[in-house]
Amino acid sequence: MTDSNYDEIMQLLCDRLSSLTNTNAQISPETNLISQLSIDSIKLLNLIMEVEDTFDISIPINALADVQTVRELVDLVHKIKSAS
Amino acid sequence: MNLLEKIDAAAAARKALLPNGVGAFGIPIEEVYSATEARIGDRRVLLLGTNNYLGLTFAPECIQAAHEAIDKEGTGTTGSRMANGSYFGHRALEKEFADFYQCNSSIVFTTGYQANLGTISGLVGPGDTVLIDGDSHASIYDGCILSGADIIRFKHNDVTDMEKRLRRLGDRVETTLIIAEGIYSMLGDQAPLAEIVKLKNAYGCILLLDEAHSLGVLGETGQGLVEKTGLLQEVDFITGTFSKSLCSIGGFCVSNHPQLEQLRYISHPYIFTASPSPATIASTRAALELLRKGSHLRKQLWDNCTQLYSALKEAGYVLGPDPGPVIAAVVDTPQQALLLWQQLLEHNIYVNLILPPAAPEGKSLVRCSVNAAHTEDQIRYVGDTFAKLYSVISSHS
């Protein structure tokens, strides 16, 4: 996968997170999903289903245990998409 | 923020949602008078939040069996079956469950929660996959996490979405366990079992069905959704609980697969916990017998369910798609749900309050569980009270 793909995933996730959390705050790669966006577990799981459908991949939700920031979420999606 | 400060932050969030010490969760029940009435504070309340679907909590047969078991075998087993041995009652109940489901094997667990934890974590492990409904009970999620398998969710009761996710798994379907529930605990709707079985067979997966809320409720003899749909032989593993229709505590798994027996040696939630007490097993055995011949109880239950579902629907409430023993009024905000819950309690009716993220799609629920012991007058009073409160709730944002 090229960097443009990585950027595409980053843009998509930032847009969706902004919409899900109804925040006007700037979402950056280092934004913490829990402490800064207060995204609850169900919203995050539903977002993962959307991302799976967008990129036609399977993202095991147990992999989210290591995800705290937007960048870590993008890295996870990028890694799975690259391997698919 | 240290560990204790994190807990304080969660407590503060809870207090903000439930001001003035409102005890909607874990409410103190001072006395229980019957399967339908109890005392909360100084109020004699109608119980509509108990999952006591067949109303057997005070069945004389169950109480007598429990008394006799205590007299004969004492209050507890004081250890696990692996270390301390299996009592006659444990083995007898397993035989009775196997017979009830016409299966070769059955395992009894200490709680329904552990039945899912122990079965799921025994069936799958790292490198395997579990495909679960998005509205699955916490015991299913926790069992999956304990297993170390990859967890993929499909949209609630959406078989098209389920197939899409099965297709994406490719060769991994061979080591995939699909999990669904007979009746879902939040909205009371039923799994589309025929379509799920069709996909399970097409993709060559294993299917586990949790009949926790449907045992005793669905089917001629109360087996659950498998009996209602005639698909008993198509489901690989069935789990369930004793704490609803059977009015005690514990859980089970039944299967025709001989591999189920091996779970006794690999499943930590089975091995590393004390086995059910003699009184628990005895009352469960008596209740299972009543459940099997309880078609009159099921008829009364379903009459009550239909009466309350119709009353709430007519009053304008948004409900789950199917009438059933779980009837949840869906409201937009936690504040509306809390107000409705409080007002119902003011009218001496106890129901369950479900707030996000436990409720689906960010909504909040005021959840009733109907039972066979409720009288027509009691159900009418509950329906009338909900109707009276509808305008109050609708105008409250």
Distance CA B390, CA B4 (A): 41
Could you state, in order of their start, the residue ranges of all structural domains in chain B? Answer: 3-54+295-394, 60-292
State whether CATH 3.90.1150.10 applies to domain B3-54+295-394.
yes
Contact B396, B364 (CB under 8 A): no
Q: CB-based burial of residue B221 (10 Å sphere; 0-12 exposed, 13-18 middle, 19+ buried)? A: middle
Q: Report chain B residues whose CB lies below 8 A from the CB of A48.
A: 153
CB contacts, 8 Å: A46 with chain B: 134
Q: Where are the beta strands (DSSP E) in B35-125?
A: 37-40, 43-47, 105-109
pLDDT band per the 50, 70, 90 thresholds, residue B21: low
State which CATH number among 1.10.760.10, 3.40.640.10, 1.10.490.20, 3.30.70.100 fits the domain covering B60-292.
3.40.640.10
Instruction: Compute the CA torsion angle B149, B150, B154, B157 (nearest 10 deg).
Output: 0
C-alpha angle B43-B47-B51 in degrees, rounded to nearest 5: 155
Cα separation, B105 vs B102, in Å, equals: 9
Comparison of pLDDT for A66 and B114, the residue scoring more: B114
Contact: A61, B152; criterion CB under 8 Å? yes
- Does residue A83 sit at the B interface (CB-CB below 8 Å)? no
Q: What is residue B137's DSSP assignment?
A: -
- To the nearest whole percent, how much of chain A has pLDDT over 90? 51
What digits encode the pLDDT tens for the residues B267-308?
A: 999 999 999 999 999 999 999 999 999 999 999 999 999 999
Q: Closest-CA residue in chain A for B143?
A: A62
Cβ proximity of B179 and B206 under 8 Å = no
Residue in A closest to B359 by C-alpha: A42
Backbone angles phi, psi at B219, to 5 degrees: 90, 155
**Confidence (pLDDT) at B70:** 98
Which of B149, B153, B356 is opposite residue A49, by nearest beta carbon? B153
Q: Across residues A43-70, what is the average pLDDT?
A: 91
**B153, B164, B169: residue with CB nearest A61:** B153
**Tokens (6 digits) for A74:** 């993008």
Closest to B235 in 3D by CA, of B272, B287, B182: B182
CA–CA dist A57, B86 (Å, integer): 46
Please, what is the average pLDDT of chain B?
A: 95
Q: Check A49 against B356: CB less than 8 A apart.
A: no
For the question of an ipTM over 0.90, the answer is no
A72 close contact with B: CB closer than 8 A: no
Higher pLDDT, residue B359 or B68: B68
Range of weakest confidence among A37-51, B42-56, B334-348: A37-51
CATH of the domain at A19: 1.10.1200.10
Between the two ends of chain B, the Cα-to-Cα distance in Å is 34
Most confident of the following: A29-33, A46-50, B111-115: B111-115
Residue of A41, A60, A61 with shortest CB distance to B357: A41
Q: Rounded to 5 degrees, what angle do the CA atoms B200, B203, B206 make?
A: 45
Q: How many domains does chain A have?
A: 1
pLDDT at A84: 81
Query: By residue range, what is the domain housing residue A32?
Result: 3-83
Query: What's the confidence (pLDDT) of residue B19?
Result: 59
3-state SS assignment for residue B242: coil
Which tokens go with B320? 């789950």
In angstroms, the CA B297 to CA B316 distance is 29
* B293 vs B47: CA distance, rounded Å: 25
Radius of gyration (Cα) for chain B, nearest Å? Answer: 21
At residue A1, the pLDDT reads: 45
Of B145, B152, B357, the CB nearest to A58: B152
Which of A20, A55, A61 should we substitute to test contact with B (largest number of B Cβ atoms within 10 Å)? A61
Chain B positions touching chain A (beta carbons under 8 Å) = 129, 134, 144-145, 148-153, 155, 164-165, 168-169, 356-357, 362
Categorize the per-residue pLDDT at A2 as very low, low, confident or very high, splitting at 50, 70 and 90: low
Contact B150 A46 (CB under 8 A): no
